[in-house]
Amino acid sequence: SAYARVQTSVVKGANKQRQLTDLVSLVRFALGLDDELKPFADEVDKRFQAWIFRHNAQRRTAFTPEQTEWLRLMKDHIASSCHISRDDFDYADLADKGGLQKVWGVFGKELDDLMNEMNRELVA
């Protein structure tokens, strides 16, 4: 909120409820890595859209609707915690949807590589 008062023109989403993960955006802005101070979740959403589009374009077949739904759940988890791992499927929304067993059934051996790629691409 201090940046919003001093540099209103470069702070986006100042009226939204802040999360601890917004510290990532704050540090990036303070270091001059980003020109605008935006909520971390907004950046994750933007990076996710670019990543999934690029990923679908490189595959022989696009992600199925079920896979896309799981990827969105994983993206939401990353937006609130900056990371996703197998252990996270025991918690909240991910567990309610069937947890690790279900997501493993959807992605199989690709799961770990997808999580690593999402962690790298969405948080960068």
* pLDDT digits 0-9 by tens, 7-29: 666 666 654 445 666 677 777 77
CA dihedral 111, 42, 79, 107 (to 10 degrees): -10
The reply to whether the predicted model has a pTM over 0.85 is no
d(CA 111, CA 20): 27
d(CA 52, CA 75): 11
Burial label for 115, CB within 10 Å (0-12, 13-18, 19+), is buried
With a CB cutoff of 8 Å and minimum separation 6, the contacts of 91 are: none
Burial label for 109, CB within 10 Å (0-12, 13-18, 19+), is exposed
What is residue 124's predicted lDDT score, i.e. its pLDDT?
Answer: 76
Single out the residue of 119, 124, 122 nearest to residue 46, CA to CA: 122
Please, what is the Cα angle at 45 between 39 and 48, to 5 degrees? 140
* pLDDT digits 0-9 by tens, 26-51: 777 788 887 888 888 888 999 999 99
Residue ranges of the domains in the chain?
Answer: 40-123
Say if CB 37 and CB 26 are below 8 A apart: yes
* pLDDT digits 0-9 by tens, 71-116: 999 999 999 888 999 999 998 789 999 999 999 999 999 999 999 9
How would residue 5 be classed by pLDDT, with cut points 50, 70 and 90? low
